Chains A and B, each alone.
Chain A
């Protein structure tokens, strides 16, 4: 699996992401600066990592979404290329129109930095094939704007088409308001696009991939992606 990690000014999770990709795929990911206009030839997976691109100026992800490299990323996604967008990456993907909706200020107005439980609603995507549907994983979140909203029609479409992949839940997989840390509509933590090749999620699976991190629940996502490309090859 040849991956490319985008780097914008103010991003700070790109090295965690690169480390997880290297560990799980055995290949060094390419780090791609935002001012580039093309992705490295043969890229299988584009990752938009977390952080605070452009200091969250204007709106989270708004300025990064208009960076030169994003035209290449949108074209790559249109051709069916896989894009994984985490945290600020999810905000950038929404601002770039790769995914519907917006990530608003957390409902309780606080930055949340803690482990959360995610229920995996689908295991038949390239991103979640390493898990079972209904499985609950523990991963960290660190965000002030993770409260997913979209208009009623969009939410109905996402639900109707089974495009909500991760939801904030209890450790037993029960979705209820007190486990929905940021107030996201329908406890949405991660969604895929219509074609199923772009995943946006607020939590950080890349931070739970090694025993020394205290948990390895995030490995399944990367292991699933590696498998996906092995089988495709």
Chain B
């Protein structure tokens, strides 16, 4: 069983790293980019469990450690 937790900055929080990446992409001539925001993805292998339990466990992991909810949002996907 696998979980993927995606952590992104909340809108309105300045992201200087995303800005720098955006600048670099533009300088490579990659067109059509409006803006870039950087985030993190955690791929977590889980022992088999009921989907609801796994989701609850990942929610607690995200709240307690993986995301800083002052500035970040998170999204959980459980599969397998």
Please encode chain A, from 188 to 210, with 1 for each CB lying within 8 Å of some chain B CB and 0 for all others. Answer: 00000000000000000000000
B 9-29 binary contact with A (CB < 8 Å = 1; else 0)? 000011011001000000000
A interface bracket (residues with beta carbon within 8 Å of B): 10 to 19
Residues of A within 8 A of B16 (CB): 104-109
* Interface residues of B, count at CB 8 A: 11
* Chain B residues within 8 Å of A95, by CB: 68
A102 B68 Cβ-Cβ under 8 A: yes
B33 contacts A by Cβ under 8 Å: no
Interface residues of B, dominant DSSP:
helix
What is the chain A residue whose CB lies nearest that of B13? A149
Q: Does B44 contact A (CB under 8 A)?
A: no
Residues in chain B near residue A150, CB distance under 8 A: 70
Candidate in A59, A66, A109, A149 with the most chain B CB atoms within 10 angstroms: A59
| Cβ distance A146 to chain B, nearest Cβ, rounded Å | 12
- Could you say which of A102, A108, A109 contacts B70, with CB atoms under 8 Å apart? A102
A105–B64 Cα distance when bound, in Å, is 22
Residue numbers in A under 8 Å from B64 (CB-CB)? 66
Enumerate chain A residues within 8 angstroms of B71, measured Cβ to Cβ: 102, 104, 149
Query: Is residue A173 contacting chain B, with contact meaning CB distance below 8 A?
Result: no
Q: Nearest CB to that of B42 among chain A residues?
A: A58
Report the bound CA distance from A66 to B68 in whole Å. 13
